[in-house]
Each structure stands twice: as structure tokens, then as C-alpha cells.
Amino acid sequence: MTKIFSLLDSPIGELLLTGDGRSVTGIWMQSHRGEWKRTKEWLRDDRAFAVTRAQLTEYFAGERLTFELSLAAEGTGFQRKVWTELCAIPYGETISYGELARRIGQPTAARAVGLANGSNPLPIVVPCHRVIGADGSLTGFGGGIERKRWLLAHEARYSKATQDLFS
């Protein structure tokens, strides 16, 4: 099966989008932990990622709060459970790893949740950046703490603007 990719410039650096022609399988940042390895079977196809590129561009412009994409992340059942729950964290809000563990029904699994969170191959779209330490600290993010800080500030800015529109 042919594997495809696209590159997208963003305010947090170039993003590498990967997919199988039907679904997005990965979003990788420069200097991302667990870097993607391109081999000869990978082909660049920006058109196949037109919807993904448009939605990410809208997100970075503050025009999109949620994503409507076909995703196909590979992971264990536990990881997929964590990733699904990440998508339930509202735009502009954060929760702790412990809270995320409680939400999936495993309140003593905060460390395992942290590992699953760190293994998320679809950051931004599956918003792992919205999970923070119990003390409010910005702990762990595959793309680096500075990118996590930027994403949270971006969402806080546009979340507040959206709230002001409807107040």
C-alpha cells in the first residue's frame, strides 16, 4: 500500500502530515519525539491532504475549534481510549493527567495515561496539549514545551474572543 505525506507551514513550525489515502495517520512537528522515518515507499501528495491542510490552517487562524477529519491512529486499545477522551476536552480548556485517568475509568493510571498521551500520533487534532500537570505545570509534549505553551495560549486567546462574541 502506498503511504502518502504532505508538508504544512504553521506558526509552530513545519508540520508533516502522513496518511494512507483515506485517513490521516500522523502529524509530526520538527524535532518531534518519535520522529517519522521517510522511506522510498512514501509519496508526497498535497491534494490528498487538502481538507486536513485547510482545517489546520483554520485552526491556526482561530477560525476552527474542532476538527472533522478521518483519522487512523495506530495504537493499543488503552491508547485509543485515552486519545478518544482527549477529543472530549473542550477547546481552550485543560485537565490534569489524573483527571484524564478518572475520565477513562482508571483513576490510578495517571502515569499510563501520560505515556499514552505522549504516544499520540495526531497532536493538535487529538489535543494532547490540553493535558497538564496536577499543579498546573506544562509537563510533557512530543513537540516540546514551547509549542505546547503556544497552542494553549492560542486557544485561550481565541476561546476568550469567541466567548466575548456571544456575551
Return the active site residues. 128
Residue 132 CA: distances (Å) to CA of 1, 3, 93, 122? 38, 33, 10, 17
* Angstrom distance (rounded) from CA 5 to CA 164: 38
* Angstrom distance (rounded) from CA 45 to CA 138: 35
90 Cβ contact partners less than 8 Å away, ≥ 6 residues apart:
none
The grid cell for 6 is 504532505
Helix (H, G, I), strand (E, B) or coil at 8: strand
